[in-house]
Structure 1
Amino acid sequence: MLHAFVRDEGLLRWARELDGAADPLPDSTVWIDLLSPTPEELARVEALVGTPLPTREQMAEIEESSRLRLVGGAVHMTVMVLVWADTDRPRIAEVSFVLVGGRLVTIHHIDPQPFLAFRRTLSHRSIPCTGAEAVLAYLVDAVVERTAGVLRRVGLELDTMSSRAFRGRTLRPRGETRGDSRSLRRIGHTGHLIGKAHVSLASLQRMLDFLSRNDGRMGGWSGSKATRRWARATLQDVTGLDEYATFLSSKVSLLLDTTLGRINVEQNEIVKIVSVITVLLFPPTLVATIYGMNFTDMPEKDWMYGYPMALLLMALSAVLPMIFVKLRRWL
C-alpha cells in the first residue's frame, strides 16, 4: 500500500489521488509511506527517487552496517519499532527510512501506531512542513513518545504489583485470593514488553547517533544543522528512556523473585500445617485402632464404662498435643 504526501505552499498534504494511481509520482512529493508494498509500488517509488529501496530481507538483517548505510546519495536507516504494545503479543517491526533527494521514503510491513496517528492527522488537515527531514523528525519523535508512554504504563503497573507483593501476611486470610499464576503471567508479560522496548530504543540510539554526527564527510548525504541538533537532543531522550527500561528490568527481576519466594513460603507453611495436623490426629487414631481390635481376651471389652473411657482417652490424646503445639508456637 502506497501513501503519498506532497508539499503544497509550505504545508504537508496527503495526496490521496496518487495512492492507487499508476502514474509517476510528482516532484512535489516529500514523503512516501509504503506499507507491505507490492513490486509495482516499489518500482514506482524507485523511479521517482532514483535509488533502489531495501527489500524485506535486507530490512531483517541485524548488522549495523546493513541498517545504517549510505547508498549513492541516499541514506538507508532501519530501526526496530515496538508495535502491538497494548495487546498480549507485543512485537518488534522493522521500519526503514530512506532519505534521498529531499524526499523521505518509509517502508514497513506492520503499521506502527505513530505512523497511523500521523496519517490520521494529515487526513483531516495539512500541517506546516519544511521538508523531508522535518517529517523524519516528527515520525521519530512520535515513536519515542509512544515508547515512553508504554514504559510509563509499565512502571505504574509494576508499582501496583510491587505494593501487593510486599504487603500483608505470608499466608492470605480466609476468602482472599491473589492468583499467583496470574501474577506470574503478568510479570512475564511485563518483562517481555520491556525487553521489546529496550531493543527498539537501542536501534533508535544507533540511528540518532548516526544522524547527529553525519556532517557530509562520509561521502554521501549531509544533514542540515537543525537535523543534527534535533538528533543530538532526541538521542539524550532515548538514552534516558533506555536507562529507565534497564531500571524496570531490574524491578521485574526483583518482583519475580519476591513472588516466587512468597509462593515457596506459602507452600512450606501449608506443608507444615498438614504435618502438624497429621501428628495431632495420630494419637486418637492409635487409641481407636487398639480398641477396635476384635480379640477375645480384652480387659475393657466387657467393662461397663469402656466405651466412654475410650472416647475420653481419644479426646485427651488429641487435645494435649494441640496444647503442646500451641505452647511451642508451631502454629
Structure 2
Amino acid sequence: MPSLPSLVRRNRGARNHRRTPAAPVAESAYMVDCGVYVDGARLPGNWTHAAAIEEVRRRDSGFVWIGLHEPDETQLGVLAETFGLHELAVEDAVHAHQRPKLERYDSTLFMVLKTVRYIANEKLTANSEIVESGELMAFVGRDFVITVRHGKHAGLAAVRKQLEADPEQLALGPAAVLHGISDYVVDSYLEVTEAIQDDIDEMEAAVFAPRTKIEAEQIYLMKREVMELRRAVMPLAKPLQRLAEGYTPAVPEQVRSYFRNVEDHLTTVSERVASFDELLTTLVDATLAKITLQQNTDMRKISAWVAIISTPTMIAGIYGMNFETMPELQWAFGYPVTLLVMMIACVVLFKIFRRNRWL
C-alpha cells in the first residue's frame, strides 16, 4: 500500500491564515474520515491530518477526529509523528489482538475496546461462528481523537453522525467522542447478548423437551462463543470505572457521568454473560444426563429382546440335538406343541418387560 503522503494529498491551493476552507483531498484506503470540530460543529471541507491539526491549533479551539481502518506501521507512524503518539501505543494499534485496556502516555490516552457482532446460523457446526470480534483503538489528546478500527464490522460512521447531530455534546471535546464510542460498543454488546439469549432459550427448550435430539457439541460451541464475548466484556469494566472516577483531567466532570452510565450498561452485560456461562454448563450436564438415560433405556430394550429371543433359541437348540432317547421325538404333535411353547414363552416375557417399562 502506498505511503500516507501519496494517498492523502495536500490541498491544491495553499492555505493562508484567513481561515480559507480546505480544498477537497483524496481519502486513502485506510483513512476513513478526517473532520475538524469547533464549538461542536464540523467545519466544511476535506482535510489532511496535518492541515486539520494546524487549523485547530491556530484557532486554539476545537479538535480533530480522524478515523482509520487497519493502517500499517508506516501509515500510522506518519500520524504518530504529527500528533506525538507514543511508540508502544502505536505498535498496539497496528498489530491489534489486544485486551480491552486504558493507558495514559503523558497527556494522551490510549484505549482499546473489543467489538462484537452476532452471526445467525440455521444449524450449528464445528466451524460455525456466532460471535465475530474486532477491535477499536482510540488515541485521545487535548485537541484530537484518532480511532483505529480492525475488523469488517463496527464502523463508526453512525457514531460520528449521531454526535454531529448533537453539537452541545460534541462541544465537550475529545472526551465526548470517547464516550460516544464506548457507549456504541457497549450497546452492541447488549444487542449480541439479546440474540444469544434467544439461541440459549431454544437450546434449553430442546434439551428438556421429550424425544428431541440435541448434541452436546452444539452446546459446547455456544459456550465457546460466549467465552469469546466474555473476553471482550469483562476486561472493559476497569477502564470505564477509571474514566468515570476521574482517572485523567482529559475527561471533564460533565463527561464522567456519561461514562458512569456506560459502566452501568456494561455491568448488565457482564451479568448476562455470567448467567449464560452458568446456564450452558447446566445444559451440558443435562444433555449428558439425557444421553446417559437414553443409553440405559436402549440397553434395557436390547436386553429384553435378547431374553425374549433366547427362549425359543434355547428350546430349538435342545431339540436340535436329535438324540434317540430324547422324549417326544416320535410324538406326532411334538412339533406344533414346541412352537406353541416358544410362542407362549415369548408373549409372557414380552408382557413382563412391558409391565416393567423395559419395552
Coarse TM-score class (shorter-chain normalised):
0.7 to 0.9
Instruction: Map 1:104-119; keep pairs closer than 5 Å.
Output: 104-113=145-154, 116=155, 118-119=156-157
| Contact 2:141/2:250 (8 A) holds in 1 | no
2:319 counterpart of 1:291: yes
| Contact 1:79/1:200 (8 A) holds in 2 | yes
| Alpha-carbon distance, 1:238 to partner | 0.8
State the AA in 2 paired with 1:55: E
Alpha-carbon displacement from aligned partner over 1:168-195 (angstroms, at most 9, x marks no partner): 3xxx2xxxxx3322xx233223222222
Structure 1 Cα separation of the partners of residues 262 and 158 of structure 2: 24
The number of residues matched between the two structures is: 307
| Alpha-carbon distance, 1:288 to partner | 1.3
Structure 2 Cα separation of the partners of residues 14 and 151 of structure 1: 39
| Alpha-carbon distance, 1:242 to partner | 0.6
RMSD, matched Cα: 3.0
Structure 1 Cα separation of the partners of residues 305 and 68 of structure 2: 69
Alpha-carbon displacement from aligned partner over 1:132-163 (angstroms, at most 9, x marks no partner): 22222222111111110111111122222222
Structure 1 Cα separation of the partners of residues 333 and 224 of structure 2: 71
| Alpha-carbon distance, 1:279 to partner | 0.9
| Alpha-carbon distance, 1:34 to partner | 2.2
Match of 1:127 among 165, 185, 210: 165
Instruction: Map 1:235-314; keep pairs closer than 5 Å.
Output: 235-314=263-342
Alpha-carbon displacement from aligned partner over 1:47-66 (angstroms, at most 9, x marks no partner): 3322234213885565x9xx
2:222 counterpart of 1:186: no
| Contact 2:206/2:214 (8 A) holds in 1 | no
Structure 2 Cα separation of the partners of residues 180 and 111 of structure 1: 32
Corresponding residue of 1:175? none
| Alpha-carbon distance, 1:164 to partner | 2.8
| Contact 2:159/2:180 (8 A) holds in 1 | no
Distance 1:61 1:153, change over 3 A: closer
Match of 2:50 among 14, 24, 32: 24
Distance 1:123 1:231, change over 3 A: closer
Which structure has the higher relative contact order (CA within 8 Å, separation 6+)? 1
Instruction: Map 1:1-331; keep pairs closer than 5 Å.
Output: 1-7=30-36, 10-12=40-42, 24-27=50-53, 30-52=64-86, 53-56=89-92, 60=97, 67-83=101-117, 85-86=119-120, 88-89=128-129, 90-113=131-154, 116=155, 118-119=156-157, 127-128=165-166, 129-130=170-171, 131-168=173-210, 172=211, 178-181=212-215, 184-214=216-246, 216=248, 221-331=249-359
| Contact 2:76/2:90 (8 A) holds in 1 | no
| Alpha-carbon distance, 1:306 to partner | 2.0
TM-score if structure 2 supplies the norm length?
A: 0.75
| Contact 1:12/1:127 (8 A) holds in 2 | no
Structure 2 Cα separation of the partners of residues 211 and 121 of structure 1: 19
Alpha-carbon displacement from aligned partner over 1:90-134 (angstroms, at most 9, x marks no partner): 354443221013211122332442xx2x32676899634333222
Structure 2: tracts of 5 or more residues without a match: 1-29, 57-62, 122-127
| Alpha-carbon distance, 1:224 to partner | 1.1
Distance 1:54 1:33, change over 3 A: same
TM-score if structure 1 supplies the norm length?
A: 0.81
State the AA in 2 paired with 1:195: M
Structure 2 Cα separation of the partners of residues 132 and 287 of structure 1: 92
Distance 1:248 1:143, change over 3 A: same
Structure 2 Cα separation of the partners of residues 13 and 285 of structure 1: 95
What SS class does the counterpart of residue 50 from structure 2 fall into? coil
Structure 1 Cα separation of the partners of residues 276 and 133 of structure 2: 19
Identity %: 21
| Contact 2:50/2:82 (8 A) holds in 1 | yes
Structure 1 Cα separation of the partners of residues 153 and 182 of structure 2: 11
Alpha-carbon displacement from aligned partner over 1:30-49 (angstroms, at most 9, x marks no partner): 22222221233212312332
| Contact 1:35/1:111 (8 A) holds in 2 | no
Alpha-carbon displacement from aligned partner over 1:52-89 (angstroms, at most 9, x marks no partner): 34213885565x9xx42221210112233335655733
Distance 1:74 1:291, change over 3 A: same
